[in-house]
Amino acid sequence: MTPTITAFAQSPDRGKGLARDMRVRWALEEVGQPYEVHLVSFAEMKEPAHRARHPFGQIPTYEEGDLVLFESGAIVLHLAESHPGLLPDDAKARARAITWMFAALNTVEPPIVDRGIAMLTERDKVWFAERLSILDDRVRVRLGELAGRLGNADWLDAAFSAGDLLMVTVLRRLSGSGVLEEFPNLCAYVARAEARPAYKRAFDDQLAVFTARPPGA
């Protein structure tokens, strides 16, 4: 059965691959699972039909027959558990890869999202410059720790896994901030992931949604 995911009808990042459907598209490409995309507008996301799929009115969701999932991390883990290619076979290595999935979403992403929220909603506040500096420093602490652990390795724990997939999508959210560039091994890590054929296919597909439908069209 071909699964269906949801994605933004009008991508707020203009196709830079920063929306969370990119994680799921990339995972689907890594495991070679064809899929369909149901685009939803911002208004549709908050309506009952979409809330039935996603209680918090967001994207992506994942539907496979009568199984309905939300949360990009949970969908990627579901794909990784039901297809080979995104988690090691060894039980311990598998548990460590899953640890990196949670670390990406719970420890590294929150200060990066906070920075993004402030950029979007606090630019006109008198406190913006002071807050941004605090937020940047909070991001730097996490990136420094991550860079220290990664060192010169290609991936976080031996082979590429769903943990790397999520971590790279989290780091890419710093695009344009200049902060990631302070950590050369993390930049190389992101570039290494972006060079994967599955990443490129997923990126092109999410970009096509934007180029096919310019904002306001």
Counting contacts by CB under 8 A, is residue 153 touching a copy of itself? no
Minimum separation from the CB atom of position 42 to a copy of itself (A): 15
Counting contacts by CB under 8 A, is residue 109 touching a copy of itself? yes
Minimum separation from the CB atom of position 170 to a copy of itself (A): 11
Counting contacts by CB under 8 A, is residue 73 touching a copy of itself? yes
Counting contacts by CB under 8 A, is residue 99 touching a copy of itself? yes
- Among the listed residues 12, 32, 42, 113, the single contact to a copy of itself using CB under 8 A: 113
The DSSP secondary structure of the chain, one letter per residue, reads: ---EEEEESS-TTTTSS-STHHHHHHHHHHHT---EEEEE-HHHHTSHHHHHH-TT--S-EEEETTEEEESHHHHHHHHHHHSTTSS-SSHHHHHHHHHHHHIIIIIIHHHHHHHHHHHHHSTTSTTHHHHHHHHHHHHHHHHHHHHHHHTT-SSTTSS--HHHHHHHHHHHTTTTTSSGGG-HHHHHHHHHHHTSHHHHHHHHHHHHHHHHS-TT-
Counting contacts by CB under 8 A, is residue 66 touching a copy of itself? yes
Counting contacts by CB under 8 A, is residue 114 touching a copy of itself? yes
Which residues of this protein are in contact with a copy of itself, per CB under 8 A? 51, 55-58, 66-75, 77-78, 92, 95-96, 98-99, 101-103, 105-107, 109-110, 113-114, 121, 125-127, 130-131, 134, 142, 145-146, 148-149
